[in-house]
Amino acid sequence: MLKKLMLMSISALILSSFTTKENIQKVTKDSDLYLLIGTYTSGTSKGIYVYRFNTETGEASYVNEVDGLSNPSYLNLSKDEKFVYSVGENEAEGGLAYALSFDKQNGKLTYLNEQQTHGGSPCYINIDPKGQHVITANYTGGNISVFKIKKDGALLPASQVITFDKEDSKEPQPASHLHCVAFSPEGKYLFADDLGKDKVHKFNLHYAEKENNSDQFLQAGDPSAFNIEKGSGPRHLTFHPNGKYAYLINELSGKVTVFEYKNGLLKDIQYIASDTTQEAVKKGSADIHLTPNGKYLYASNRLKADGIAIFKVNQLNGKLTKIGYQFTGIHPRNFIITPNGKLLLVACKNSNVIQVFRINYKNGLLEDTGKKIELDKPVCLKFASMK
């Protein structure tokens, strides 16, 4: 009897091992995504790169690239992931919005067209919830630009260019610098972060705009803007998965602003330090993201103590508690969290590398996997499915 039980246990163990191996192989295969990388092209980088990335193992392999684009630093994908839109982060009249098609069969990007942003140094690009417009935030232009999307994915010339506060030498930050355009969770509003004027501008979305532009897509909201602490330098804005809270990383103050969000209104409830360096230099906080479950928030910091600040999110009120700090390569810009919440990838521009960190699901801390993608001046990271 004992011998029979032992044989049954061994058989079950062998079967379990075999099944687990099959499952691991399936999970590994199903966990592959495309990773699209925007770069600065002032060095050896040629444009936008496409890699195959496994969200379980952190392994990456080169797939394709598209060259001939000037400084495609920040990019975004259409909802169906058939098109990619990128800025051409050039100064003055060189500011551009690029449109490309994306073939998932082979990971190939194909240039469609480009349009002038009519604002220098576009550094952020987004697509409205219905997929009808592309909007850029133009840093040195102090404005945002709206482009209608044609049926073939190409962009029409800018239908709207909204310029903000003119330069005022009496102000601590005399000119507007737009750095981010983010849509609200319910898809009714656009928020535009003005790093130069310490404001978050608000717009209503009006899809019934007229062809002659007499009635336009973006219309001033009520209120038209929300004031942030003086000297903050609002940069990137993101929303909690539950839609009740918003989080703003401020480049100059090195703080995160926490907002309660409801019906288009942002109410600040907390300011908490992300960059705690005491050096007498300009702060350099850059990007901000939450894990898919909304339990942890991360914010990147540059110039001194390059790294990622780690926060735990109070699920009852949205407020943050700082729980750690992970040092990275030099000048971490954009970073991204895998959809399964297991890995965090950081684009370290001045180290010419993308680092891969594992997220500890129990405490939110980061562990360097040692895996990396070496690439000149990486700036922006986006995932796309392979199906």
Q: Residues 376-385: pLDDT tens digits?
A: 999 999 999 9
Is there a single domain that holds both residue 288 and residue 175? yes
d(CA 222, CA 109) in angstroms, rounded, equals 40
Q: CB–CB of 48/69 below 8 Å?
A: yes
From 10-19, 58-67, 90-99, the region with the lowest mean pLDDT: 10-19
Is there a single domain that holds both residue 109 and residue 128? yes
247 within a domain of the structure (yes/no): yes
From 1-5, 48-52, 67-71, the region with the lowest mean pLDDT: 1-5
**Mean pLDDT along residues 90-109:** 95
What pTM was computed for the model? 0.91
Chain position carrying tokens 């199906």: 387
Phi-psi region of 55 (alpha: psi -120 to 50; beta: other; left: phi over 0): alpha
**Mean pLDDT along residues 58-72:** 97
Q: Is the pLDDT of residue 53 over 80?
A: yes
Is there a single domain that holds both residue 158 and residue 265? no
Q: Is the pLDDT of residue 41 over 50?
A: yes
250 within a domain of the structure (yes/no): yes
Is there a single domain that holds both residue 149 and residue 212? no
Is there a single domain that holds both residue 248 and residue 316? yes
Is there a single domain that holds both residue 89 and residue 174? no
Q: For the purposes of burial, counting CB atoms within 10 Å of the CB of 349, is it exposed (0-12), middle (13-18) or buried (19 or more)?
A: buried
- Parallel, antiparallel, or unpaired for β 47-54 and 199-205? unpaired
Residue ranges making up the domain that contains 91: 72-163
What local confidence, expressed as pLDDT, does residue 331 receive?
96
Q: What is the mean pLDDT of the chain?
A: 91
Is there a single domain that holds both residue 170 and residue 147? no
Residue that terminates a domain, selected from 327, 349, 371: 327
267 within a domain of the structure (yes/no): yes
d(CA 363, CA 169) in angstroms, rounded, equals 46
Residue that terminates a domain, selected from 139, 163, 187: 163
Cis peptide before 378 (omega within 30 of 0): no
Is there a single domain that holds both residue 127 and residue 171? no
Is there a single domain that holds both residue 118 and residue 223? no
Distances (CA, A) of 116 to 160, 217, 266, 338: 12, 18, 32, 32
Q: Positive or negative CA dihedral for 313, 319, 322, 328?
A: positive
289 within a domain of the structure (yes/no): yes
What local confidence, expressed as pLDDT, does residue 19 receive?
39
353 within a domain of the structure (yes/no): no
What local confidence, expressed as pLDDT, does residue 17 receive?
39
**Distance linking the first and last C-alpha atoms of the chain:** 52
pLDDT in tens, 254-283: 999 999 999 999 999 999 999 887 664 567
d(CA 276, CA 237) in angstroms, rounded, equals 20
CATH number of the domain at 305, please: 2.130.10.10
Is there a single domain that holds both residue 263 and residue 216? yes
> What percent of the chain stands above pLDDT 90?
83
215 — pLDDT class (breaks 50, 70, 90): confident
> What percent of the chain stands above pLDDT 70?
89
Q: Is the pLDDT of residue 176 over 50?
A: yes
From 26-30, 102-106, 226-230, 245-249, the region with the lowest mean pLDDT: 26-30
92 — pLDDT class (breaks 50, 70, 90): confident
| Residue 17 per-residue DSSP state | H
Helix, coil or strand: residue 245: strand
The strand order across the sheet containing 199-205 reads: 178-183, 189-194, 199-205, 218-227
> 13 φ, ψ to 5°?
-65, -45
pLDDT in tens, 302-325: 988 899 999 999 999 999 999 999
What is the domain count for the chain?
A: 2
Q: CB–CB of 62/373 below 8 Å?
A: no
What local confidence, expressed as pLDDT, does residue 26 receive?
47
What local confidence, expressed as pLDDT, does residue 139 receive?
97
Is there a single domain that holds both residue 88 and residue 118? yes
Phi-psi region of 364 (alpha: psi -120 to 50; beta: other; left: phi over 0): left
373 within a domain of the structure (yes/no): no
212 within a domain of the structure (yes/no): yes
| Beta carbons within 8 Å of 189's beta carbon, 6+ residues apart | 183, 202, 203, 204, 205, 221, 264
Residue 37, amino acid: I
234 — pLDDT class (breaks 50, 70, 90): very high
166 — pLDDT class (breaks 50, 70, 90): low
d(CA 51, CA 312) in angstroms, rounded, equals 31
Length in residues, the chain: 387
Is there a single domain that holds both residue 284 and residue 136? no
245 within a domain of the structure (yes/no): yes
pLDDT in tens, 136-156: 999 999 999 999 999 999 999
Residue that terminates a domain, selected from 138, 163, 188: 163
Q: Is the pLDDT of residue 21 over 80?
A: no
**Mean pLDDT along residues 37-56:** 97
| Beta carbons within 8 Å of 262's beta carbon, 6+ residues apart | 244
